[in-house]
Amino acid sequence: MRRREFITLLGGAAAMWPVRASAQKPATIGFLGPASASAMSVWTAAFVNRLRELGWMEGRTISIEYRWADGRADRVAGLAAELARLNPSVIVTTGTGVPALKQATSVIPIVFTIASDPIGTGLVTSLSRPGGNVTGLSQLAADLGGKRLDILRDVVPGLRRLAILYNAGNAPTSAERAQVEEAARTLGLEVLNSEIRRAEDITPAIEALKGRVDAIYVQADPLMNTNRVRISTLALGAGLPTLSGIREYVEAGVLMSYGPNFSDLFRRAADYVDKILRGTKAADLPVEQPTKFDLVFNLTTSKVLGLKVSETFLLRADEVIE
């Protein structure tokens, strides 16, 4: 090869190096967690593991920027704006984090892992054609309240008075609460709404329910998720059975749960991220519904409460924690 040809070839190769280096730069994924890192650790692990199965390796082909609100709604908007300024390829959050992210960006794709009512709360305009820059997975929370109460009555046959423990500062969860109230009235149950707005409200709220109700329906949200161990411990101390929609609450000591498998929803959120990173627009990805629902029961908690649970019921459960 002539010297001039070699220099020309070398110069051309050098010109390509920045392009190749740029192509190898990890894609950035933003992750806005309205709860705490520890409260969501099982779900984020499922998300990252699924990304790895799809060929996305953290530290090599992707980097993940996490931001945690620790159950404090007043922190979400600031964290959303902070993530938007990083200009990641996609941002993952729960339904609670979407409104703040939509305020922060109308361009960056947003994938929600769990949302109670995506249309009713204005996250998307249609499940089949979300439009805009937002898509993800619905958890059908508002449709499951009645089913949960039916299951609770199987375990607490003398159930007459029910408390709904909820975060009054989280408006998107109101649809689920209304549905639970309606289902309770249909079953002839008296309902007592017990609202909290911050972690410090949990202890006095549960102490005030002792002797006044027969069980507590814990309406899940980031504040509750972050404090689920405290909630289960206080309720158990008050001798009150507890019901939730999330399996991880039962691991923390809550009596039982029935609802979509959140780890599965976070895994499926990774599929959305994979498609977006490969060029699909969020607007073209339909919002999907849960496909896996679990009934989880804490046998140890039931024994502490002195509940007699039939073998038939235990056989119905997808998982019994001892």
Its pTM stands at: 0.86
pLDDT (tens digit per residue) in 5-60: 433 444 444 333 333 334 568 999 999 999 999 999 999 999 999 999 999 999 99
Domain total for the chain? 2
250 and 276 both lie in a single domain: no
Q: Are 175 and 317 members of one domain?
A: yes
pLDDT of residue 285: 97
Span 256-273, pLDDT tens digits: 999 999 999 999 999 999
Which pLDDT does position 176 carry in this prediction?
A: 83
Cα 291 to chain centroid, rounded: 15
- One domain for residues 197 and 113: no
Q: Which two tokens stand for residue 298?
A: 């804490």
pLDDT digits (tens, 9 = 90+) for 237-253: 999 999 999 999 999 99
The amino acid sitting at 156 is V
Containing structural domain, residue 163: 141-260+294-321
At residue 141, does pLDDT exceed 70?
no
Residue 78 CA from chain centroid, whole number? 20
pLDDT in tens, 265-313: 999 999 999 999 999 999 999 999 998 899 999 999 999 999 999 999 9
Domain match, 207 and 310 both = yes
Q: Tell me, what's the pLDDT at 18? A: 35
- The answer on pLDDT for 213 being more than 90 is yes
Residues 158 and 184 in one domain: yes
Q: What ranges in the chain are assigned the alpha helix state H?
A: 3-24, 41-53, 73-86, 98-104, 145-155, 174-186, 202-209, 222-226, 228-237, 247-251, 262-277, 299-305, 311-316
Q: Does 63 share its domain with 135? A: yes
8 & 126 share domain: yes
Mention every residue, 6+ apart, whose C-beta is less than 8 A from residue 279: none
Q: How far is CA 19 from the centre of its chain?
A: 38
CB count within 10 Å of CB 321 equals 16
Residues 234 and 216 in one domain: yes
What letter would DSSP give residue 26? P
Q: What is the mean pLDDT of residues 57-82?
A: 96
Angle, in degrees to the nearest 10, between helices 41-53 and 262-277: 40
Question: Are 187 and 111 in the same domain?
Answer: no
> So what's the pLDDT on residue 15?
37
Pairing between strand 242-244 and 190-196?
unpaired
On the question of pLDDT at 4 being above 70, the answer is no
- State pLDDT tens for residues 161-202: 999 999 998 877 787 888 899 999 999 999 999 999 999 999
C-beta of residue 193 within 8 angstroms of C-beta of residue 164 = yes
- Say if residue 30 is exposed, middle or buried (CB neighbours under 10 Å; 0-12, 13-18, 19+): buried
pLDDT at residue number 145: 84
Q: Are residues 274 and 210 in the same domain?
A: no
What pLDDT, on the 0 to 100 scale, is given for residue 13?
40
**Domain CATH number, residue 186:** 3.40.50.2300
Same domain, 39 and 119: yes
Q: Are residues 97 and 244 in the same domain?
A: no
